[in-house]
Structure 1
């Protein structure tokens, strides 16, 4: 769950907001006021997109074939950094932290096609199966994708204090092994701008079949950055 749900973190919890800015790696890129962050140059007299930072709280779950994890498979329009601030001790005595699964963004078209056409998945909804955020890949699914189609995901564990960077357009999902709190922020870097622009068009096509709005307004964002 996002927190605060309807307010900016800076407004509601200014001390936590300042702590995030001091702690986040590569601050020139990843801070809301970072000099190299293209999303950091909105005029003071306009309503800017809410790219965060936001707090995320989640209950722990089991990463097996019968659970859907904490965050289902999806991809983001921009680059993002996700910092785990807290993870409780697992009540079962198992691992704490979170298990991330991130695919290379070049594999996204093939992965999307398989999710729709493979008899193992058979996504039948409108739009793109990854954008639907309705699928969670089990360990067995990941093994199938690797063995049958050569698609390999990056799988790793995030512990408290770890920052995870997710490139724009990379499909990913998360399973929290125990109750946890994270802080996440979306940023726009010059190196991945081409992908953000490509995804903006992709999301536009997606909005023709599913509900949603243009939260980022990428061209206005770039105009404001250029004017600075």
Structure 2
């Protein structure tokens, strides 16, 4: 249900007045910061440097990291699925599974493809799934974080409810840190592209620690995570 905003201008002008500022009548531009240390992290890193950083960070978040290419990704994914105990598997409706030639292996592993017309059946399938497989839209080398965009064909339950989460990372998606990811998302908005209402930043398996820093894995999500980085074609 859509609501109606009343007296927005009066309300905002009153705030500006109390802050001693002139009312804003035009669009707001991004400020130019005098200091921007966030842009210095991995500033001169090559793509191979970012891969090395990502691999190192994966060790810290208890996430196996595999490097492969478009010709061997099928074998790599097959091995990972077997090591995780096979299906059931749930995946988004994503053309990249076809582009990477993964249809046959998925057919062999009791796969459910997210179907927005199926409604809650998708969530039930995700709850029963052993493995959820996704493609990372952007990948943060500094923290070993994959970025997932949710929409009608990519339900967020795919990466949250199964026991294991496998994320396929195209090498070109790797950026230094959150700074570059946020800028890329902002750029999409500026160009008028539709940005998902739900964007998930996921770092390894589910972790939680109490005040004594006793780490518990799998409290509110997958107990295992695996990243497969694929060299770009």
TM band (smaller chain)? under 0.3
Question: Given the two structures, how large is their TM-score scaled by the length of structure 1?
Answer: 0.24
Please tell me whether Structure 1 or Structure 2 has the larger radius of gyration of its CA atoms.
2
Question: Given the two structures, how large is their TM-score scaled by the length of structure 2?
Answer: 0.23
- Choose between structure 1 and 2 for higher RCO, CA contacts under 8 A separated by at least 6 residues: 1
